[in-house]
Structure 1
Amino acid sequence: MIGHGFMGAAHSQGWRVAPRFFDLPLGVEMAVVVGRSDPEASARKWGWREAETDWRQVVARDDVDVVDIVTPGDTHAEIAIAALEAGKHVLCEKPLANTVEEAERMSAAAASAAERGVRSMVGFTYRRVPAATFARDLVAAGRLGDIRQVRAEYLQDWLADAEAPMTWRLEKERAGSGALGDIGAHAVDLTEYITGQAVTTVSGVVATLVTERPLLEHGIGLSGTASAARGRVTVDDLALFTGRLASGALASFEASRFRTGRKNALRIEISGSLGALAFDLERLNELEFFDATLPPTEQGFRRILVTEPEHPYLEPWWPAGHMLGYEHGFSHQVNDFVGAIHAGTQPEPSFADGLHVQRVLDAVLRSSESGSAWTPADDDR
């Protein structure tokens, strides 16, 4: 695993726990974690056998079969392409890259590697929340009829304080974009995953609400005190856009890290000719479902508790009614990725899927810059 921050902890949990609950067809050994700052501590804490500071040496090792990339976006392309060319299966965190050009090179490298049996996948983990997967299943079964309208939003408030310090996520050269790429990418992917339809054109606007933030004093972590120096925020804080799906259905999207009171609210509501459903990550074990085919006297959104062993991913876990949490999606991700590697099939979402999302994000930025009513995603999948 290359990188060992917040996502490093989450991915480590997935690699550590999945083999103990799922009957994986291949054994998993957590060989080495790579980081620039004290990876030894992360190795001890999260269960990695070794620690290293040079990812190039790790990619070249014969005893490494899989490379898991959880670094900032500006390093994804270089690491992933090198790993694929070295014959390593690659799991890469989202968004796939910082630019369309980088994502195109990554997707081309993945396609070339696939011809040699080398697999790659993008970590859009929320697809693997059981309630979200079950929502996809309901749509695929026709329970909502023709999809007419979607509303998707990912709302956080961790930047609402204008004096919150600078981080790499606020620097365009490292993060690529702000709320749009960091969390808006999830809203786009989950909409497409559940509906089974791609976003083809968009019209949107992005805004930076706080343009400067305090820089932390040298050597002080995020819990430290801010210095008097300030840094310039070069990414968006808020993105609002409309999208048209392949069927012609309309979708509205919002990605904000300024929605005061919302901590991690990835919310999606899908309306169709026969029914509707709604999902909220802050209540991730639940799904709201409306069946419009029932008599009017029996209609209304009803709460489905998605904890039964018959629901997606849940059979290996706990008795019915016992909740899962945020970290379980990463175990589900490992289960699916390892299973696809063993079967010799393409795991989903693929690098081509990640490239498509990158093109949607880029179209939103181009629409905002030009004021264009509709901007195509220029997707050639």
Structure 2
Amino acid sequence: MSGQRSVGVGMVGYAFMGRAHSQAWRTVGRAFDLPVQPRLAAICGRNEAATRAAADRLGWAAVETDWRALIARDDVQLIDISAPGDLHGPIAIAALRAGKHVLCEKPLANTVAEAEAMVAAADAAVPSGAWAMVGFNYRRIPALALARQLVADGRLGTLRHVRAVYLQDWLVDPDAPITWRMQAEHAGSGALGDLGAHIVDLAHYLTGDVITGVSAVSATFTGKRPLPGGSGTGQVTVDDAVVFTARLGGGALASFEATRYAAGRKNGLRIELNGSAGSLAFDLERLNELEFFDRTDPADSAGFRRILVTEPGHPYLSGWWPPGHTLGWEHTFTHQARDLLTAIAAGTQPEPSFTDGLAVQRVLDAVQRSAASGSGWAAVEAGGVSRERSE
């Protein structure tokens, strides 16, 4: 790997997503042959002591307490945004204007207007060679990347149904303290943006189509929660759960459910596609498996087959272990880093683009409008979606 040029990464945030992204930046150059190597140049957080502790633990060379100073560093060429949603727009736009590449966690923004401004900044940065990508890491699960290939190859025929759920239970306890994820001014929405954004993006990615309209209901089950430290309570201003039906541009029907109140479900994402020629189903709790039903099989032996997605020819598996030696959730971020660095080196648009993130944001906006009005159908504002590069 010596002699290769490198990209200095500056990351904003060091909590849950910061840890996952740090693991990916440390690992990607050891798992894959890359045209450019990442350097963990600097990590940024408001609490200097906590940020320094995170830098030591996660492998970052330097510390900043102001994201503006991070962007200004000469040894940083890529800004990784793992901060709350209200910071995504200001940081991404400033970084792109400074000629830095950007990786921004999902959802892209808190509002459509913010997402549109981020897309405009990303488009304006392209002539200077700065690229932007939104971090929908579940696209990088090998089984889902294989599912996308099967759909693109026509193995499902005409698509008729998409059904997706994302179920967690970390808010079931009404005494769990309030965090920024439960405050609209920081998170934009609750389960909708936190979990629903993932399954909306997967619907777009797997089908190659876009959602054109929705009908939604949402609920906030616990309106007040203890403040951290136990000094009083704070108002919950986001949804705890949302359910919506949808239609895709090609005519397929879809249903989605996202909740943080499904007792016993820790990270329960499942998505199924049904078409005229077959079906696909994926369950995150069986991350290395894909279920496939082929209608051309003889009736006396037809049924869903289990594909163990660990073969060297499967998406992303070339960098890892012998067949049958399974991968985990953290590998999705390593694959994300690989795809981003490869696109930067090639001078091509990394996927999913900010335009793809905007498409998801428009769906989230329609869901919120439908749920708030209580009157049913809400159209999704039209907007383009870029196509994922084949693995």
TM bucket, shorter chain: over 0.9
The reply to whether residue 23 of structure 1 matches residue 26 of structure 2 is no
CA distance in 2, matches of 1:248, 1:115: 37
Q: Which amino acid aligns with 1:356?
A: A
Query: Which residue of structure 1 lines up, in the alignment, with residue 8 of structure 2?
Result: none
Query: Which residue of structure 2 lines up, in the alignment, with residue 209 of structure 1?
Result: 221
Shift of 1:370: 1.4
Correspondence for 2:56 among 40, 44, 55: 44
Between stretches 181-190 and 48-57, larger displacement belongs to 48-57
Gap regions ≥5 residues in structure 1: 218-226
The reply to whether residue 121 of structure 1 matches residue 137 of structure 2 is no
Report the 3-state secondary structure (helix = DSSP H, G, I; strand = E; otherwise coil) of the residue aligned with 1:103.
helix
Gap regions ≥5 residues in structure 2: 1-10, 385-391
TM-score (norm 1): 0.96
Correspondence for 1:283 among 286, 290, 297: 286
Alignment of 1:188-199 (within 5 A): 188-199=200-211
Correspondence for 1:365 among 368, 378, 381: 368
CA distance in 1, matches of 2:288, 2:154: 22
Correspondence for 2:295 among 292, 295, 306: 292
Query: Which residue of structure 2 lines up, in the alignment, with residue 130 of structure 1?
Result: 142
CA distance in 2, matches of 1:364, 1:54: 34
CA distance in 2, matches of 1:66, 1:380: 27
Deviations 1:334-368 (A, max 9, x none): 10000000111100110011111111000000011
Between stretches 281-290 and 367-376, larger displacement belongs to 367-376
Deviations 1:138-172 (A, max 9, x none): 11111111100010111101111111111110001
The reply to whether residue 61 of structure 1 matches residue 64 of structure 2 is no
Query: Which residue of structure 2 lines up, in the alignment, with residue 3 of structure 1?
Result: 13
Query: Which residue of structure 2 lines up, in the alignment, with residue 244 of structure 1?
Result: 247
Shift of 1:17: 0.1
CA distance in 2, matches of 1:374, 1:232: 29
The reply to whether residue 270 of structure 1 matches residue 273 of structure 2 is yes
Shift of 1:315: 1.1
Report the 3-state secondary structure (helix = DSSP H, G, I; strand = E; otherwise coil) of the residue aligned with 2:319.
coil
Query: Which residue of structure 1 lines up, in the alignment, with residue 7 of structure 2?
Result: none
Between stretches 52-61 and 7-16, larger displacement belongs to 52-61
CA distance in 2, matches of 1:175, 1:210: 17
CA distance in 1, matches of 2:352, 2:269: 19
CA distance in 2, matches of 1:281, 1:329: 12
Query: Which residue of structure 2 lines up, in the alignment, with residue 306 of structure 1?
Result: 309
CA distance in 2, matches of 1:327, 1:74: 25
Shift of 1:373: 2.6
Shift of 1:379: 2.0
Q: Which amino acid aligns with 1:357?
A: V
The reply to whether residue 255 of structure 1 matches residue 265 of structure 2 is no
CA distance in 1, matches of 2:340, 2:45: 23
Alignment of 1:106-255 (within 5 A): 106-217=118-229, 227=230, 229-255=232-258
Shift of 1:228: 5.6
CA distance in 1, matches of 2:348, 2:238: 37
CA distance in 2, matches of 1:117, 1:374: 41
Query: Which residue of structure 1 lines up, in the alignment, with residue 387 of structure 2?
Result: none
Q: Which amino acid aligns with 1:325?
A: G
Query: Which residue of structure 2 lines up, in the alignment, with residue 221 of structure 1?
Result: none
Q: Which amino acid aligns with 1:117?
A: G
Deviations 1:78-109 (A, max 9, x none): 00000000000000000001111111100100
Report the 3-state secondary structure (helix = DSSP H, G, I; strand = E; otherwise coil) of the residue aligned with 1:75.
helix
Shift of 1:36: 1.1
Shift of 1:28: 1.3
CA distance in 2, matches of 1:114, 1:228: 48
Between stretches 340-349 and 53-62, larger displacement belongs to 53-62
Q: Which amino acid aligns with 1:239?
A: V
CA distance in 2, matches of 1:280, 1:212: 33
Query: Which residue of structure 2 lines up, in the alignment, with residue 340 of structure 1?
Result: 343
Shift of 1:246: 1.0
CA distance in 2, matches of 1:96, 1:3: 16
Report the 3-state secondary structure (helix = DSSP H, G, I; strand = E; otherwise coil) of the residue aligned with 1:122.
strand
Between stretches 278-287 and 82-91, larger displacement belongs to 278-287
CA distance in 2, matches of 1:214, 1:141: 51
Shift of 1:380: 2.8
Alignment of 1:58-97 (within 5 A): 58-97=70-109
Shift of 1:231: 1.1
CA distance in 1, matches of 2:202, 2:211: 11
TM-score (norm 2): 0.94
CA distance in 2, matches of 1:114, 1:206: 38
Equivalenced residues, count: 372
Query: Which residue of structure 2 lines up, in the alignment, with residue 224 of structure 1?
Result: none
Percent sequence identity is 62
Report the 3-state secondary structure (helix = DSSP H, G, I; strand = E; otherwise coil) of the residue aligned with 1:29.
strand
CA distance in 2, matches of 1:3, 1:248: 40
Q: Which amino acid aligns with 2:86?
A: D
Q: Which amino acid aligns with 1:270?
A: L
